[in-house]
Amino acid sequence: MDHQEINTIRGQFQAGQWPQFLQMVSINGLRGWTGQSVEFNYPVVAIVGENGSGKSTLLKLAACVYEHEDNDKKFYPSSFFVETHWDRIQNVKIDARVKRGTSIDVFKYTKLTERWRVPDQRPKRNVYLLDISRTLPLDASVGYAKIARSAAAEVESAELNDEFRQRLSHVLGREYKKARFATSDVDAKRQVGLLEREWGELSQFHQGAGEDATLDLFRTLQGVPQYSLLIIDEVEASLHPRAQRRLIRFLLWLARQRRIQIVLSSHSPYVLEELPQEARILLMNGPQGLNVVYGVSPEFAMSRMDDEVHPDAHIFVEDREAAIWLREILASSDQTSDLITRIEINAVGPSNVVQLLGTLAQAGRLPYKSLAVVDGDHGNPNSLSLPGTLAPERHVFSDLKSANWPNLPARFGIGAGTLIQAFEDAMLEPDHHQWTRIVGDRVHKSATSVWELLTTEWCAIALSAQDRTRIADAIRQVVNAHYSIFDLFADVSQEAK
């Protein structure tokens, strides 16, 4: 993740430097949407969710909000959502909140009976809707076989500029001396992309799928004007992980340079890892319909699309440290260790994400039994909390220091003086998230290994039976629940009193 670029964009966005911005789309009555709203809180946003969760519906409707500056490139809902003998589309209501300069307005789009109705004066904006996953390779596209067989000469050629060529080279990980699009003497309306490498040129008829799609994408992006809305469905198609990461970094740069807004859909963790928390939106189907969850971790977003693990319950925590600590608490007793094989502990992101998922779980809106467990410094009535009132690292380090770091030299296999000095030096760092890394650097272990050893020892000397029972009982109630867990937190709160 390019933190400097992300923070620069965040500061400029918060200062109002995106004069054109689609802030919100609300959808009711179309393809499983029942009034849910999606808020866009960053100039580059990724929508993630399993197939059929509503990503493409959202992207297409976002494109329809605006009237394109070019009359030949206008988008209408009637073009995307066609009523057929099998598909009845009625009672549809779409709201869109749009920022233009200092003005913020809501526009309504409906199909109550037979016809779509759009505002007479839709907001004007250049909109580009790209579906990379459904773009055919050139040699499979209609009309290009004739060019491949019959072309005898070029009548025109247009090159990517040097900056975009260099960035294309960086994304794909190889040096292109030239990137251009040629018009043949066979068909003036169909261009063929060519990439020049050290041994010569290669046309799109023979390029790899990733090269082919990305070259076309860069041609479009080079021509996107300021303040546009760029929508890309399945942005990662045909690209390996490193290229996916570099493409997202390029799109962040482009968004900042031209103040454009970019909405992506993706199934890739590599895409999500390059975006900040506020730029990740998960669409998650549940028994009561679609849920919109903001700021999820890439790991949790991807786990919702993987069917390999079938736990009895999902436990949501904030981060890796909380997950390890919770697992060690359960493993510390024969009476609670059986729960470990029955649950999946998911690090889902900041406390507000954990609490939102806890609220959805309580309301029965998730497709599985689940429980939210927040850090002690983020206590919430709708969530179970880990021991103490401090962040996990602060709580565990402080308790072990008070006990004079017992048994840890033997666990680490390091002299007491060296180890204790490393612990106490780490605690001088204001950011407690760095403590295990600092210790690990000193004792030649990973931050994860350091934290596992510390939490194991903490459970042996500092974990109270009351805390272990409180946490284990709450998880066991969820695991063994037959219908709902609506009263779980009320029961836990009452026991705590």
Q: Which CA distances in Å does 87 have to 33, 90, 108, 280, 290? A: 15, 10, 22, 31, 20
Domains in the chain: ranges and CATH: 3-126+226-279 (3.40.50.300), 138-220 (no CATH), 309-387+464-496 (3.40.50), 392-461 (no CATH)
pLDDT band at 216 (very low <50, low <70, confident <90, very high): confident
Report the DSSP pairing between strands 313-317 and 343-347: parallel
In the prediction, which pLDDT does 469 show? 94
> Among 10-24, 104-118, 380-394, 450-464, whose mean pLDDT is lowest?
380-394
Report the DSSP pairing between strands 92-100 and 103-111: antiparallel
DSSP string over 360-399: HHHTT-SSS-EEEEE-GGG--TTSEE-SSSS-HHHHHHHH
| C-beta separation of 329 from 459 below 8 A | yes
- What digits encode the pLDDT tens for the residues 451-465? 999 999 999 999 999
Residue for token digits 């390999």? Answer: 308
- What digits encode the pLDDT tens for the residues 246-292? 999 999 999 999 999 999 998 888 898 899 989 999 998 877 788 88
Among 264, 266, 215, 268, CA closest to 240: 268
- What digits encode the pLDDT tens for the residues 289-323? 888 888 887 877 776 666 555 577 889 999 999 99
Residue type, 62: A
Q: If residue 422 lies in a helix (H) or strand (E), which one and from where to where?
A: helix 416-426
Averaged over 176-192, what is the pLDDT? 74
Q: Which CA distances in Å does 82 have to 36, 57, 87, 406? A: 22, 12, 8, 70
Distance CA 446, CA 162 (A): 42
Is the C-alpha dihedral spanning 414, 418, 422, 423 positive or negative? positive
Q: Which residues pair with residue 265 across a beta bridge? A: 47
- What digits encode the pLDDT tens for the residues 119-155? 888 899 999 998 755 444 444 444 555 555 555 556 5
Q: Tell me how far apart the terminal alpha carbons of the chain are, to the nearest angstrom.
A: 44
